[in-house]
Amino acid sequence: MLEIHNLSLVGITRPRLQGIELTLSQHQLVGVIGANGAGKSSLLRCIAAVEPRLEGEIRFNSRDWLSLSHRRRQQSLGYLPQTETPEWDIRIDELVNLTAQHSREQLDAHLRNYELLALRDRRVSQVSGGERQRALLARATITQPELLICDEPVSGLDVAHQLTMMQQLKTHAQGRGLVLVAIHDLALAARFCDQLLLMHDGQLVALGEPFEVLTEANLAHCFGVRAEWVCKTNGVGWIPTPLVTETD
């Protein structure tokens, strides 16, 4: 269980995060949504303990998360930041296995799940942006972390890989623990996530099941759009239009 109490983070002209209170249970895929600048990455960076200036308390599975040694935290944590360029031009299989040192058999099974087997001998500089993103996601999940934090993991992926990667994350949540994913595609979020956490101006506006959070009022307030939802038995789509203001 992840518990956050009174989490705040200062910014340059205004707070990046203000008084966040939340509790999330294990085995959930939680989508972190909100407009650009809402505070999604800031929140995920705090939970990943890479943000040095935060105030407040974070507990994970009853442990004081921020007081744990870096090594102890890394045993439970997988973190994929929003932008990451691997420092070394290593092979894809080496990149994925960097923190795990799995056997060839275990590594191949993991590479297969992320559709990377055919790319295993290529170097980081020899794959596309989306393929590199899949490799970084595979690296974040290879140790089967109890807490997995991914900042926009599917934003550069084609539609088929978006679906398979979201399914991988959901399977990870069901089998291993809590997964938090910052995501801009609200239809994808509604389809796969157990809960959505809606941020606006550094504050937590709503937390709940997708259709409790994606209300007309929340979409207007946080994104400035009106939305028509299209629900089919095997998926959810939406048609957003900008809100018409009185001055228009």
List interacting residues with ligand ATP (CB under 6 A). 11-12, 16, 34, 36-42
Q: How far is the CB of 56 from ligand ATP (least distance, A)?
A: 15
Distances (CA, A) of 210 to 14, 28, 90, 149, 207: 29, 13, 39, 19, 9
Burial 25-61 (b: 16+ CB within 10 A, else e): ebebbbbbbbbeebbbbbbbbbbbbebeebebebbbe
Identity of the residue, 37 or 171, whose beta carbon is nearer to ligand ATP in the bound complex: 37
Q: Phi and psi of 59, rounded to 5°?
A: -120, 135
Identity of the residue, 13 or 125, whose beta carbon is nearer to ligand ATP in the bound complex: 13
User: Pairing relation of β-strands 178-182 and 195-200?
Assistant: unpaired
Q: Phi and psi of 113, rounded to 5°?
A: -60, -30
Q: How far is the CB of 18 from ligand ATP (least distance, A)?
A: 11
Q: Which residues pair with 22 in a beta bridge?
A: 4
What lies within 8 Å, CB to CB, of 136 at 6+ separation is 80, 84, 86, 95
User: Pairing relation of β-strands 235-242 and 178-182?
Assistant: unpaired
Q: How far is the CB of 27 from ligand ATP (least distance, A)?
A: 25
Q: How far is the CB of 34 from ligand ATP (least distance, A)?
A: 5
Identity of the residue, 10 or 230, whose beta carbon is nearer to ligand ATP in the bound complex: 10
Identity of the residue, 13 or 234, whose beta carbon is nearer to ligand ATP in the bound complex: 13
25: left (phi over 0), alpha (psi -120 to 50) or beta: beta
CA-to-CA distance for 143 and 77, rounded, in angstroms?
9
Identity of the residue, 38 or 116, whose beta carbon is nearer to ligand ATP in the bound complex: 38
Identity of the residue, 40 or 73, whose beta carbon is nearer to ligand ATP in the bound complex: 40
Q: How far is the CB of 19 from ligand ATP (least distance, A)?
A: 15
Distance spanning both ends of the chain, measured CA to CA? 46
Identity of the residue, 14 or 71, whose beta carbon is nearer to ligand ATP in the bound complex: 14
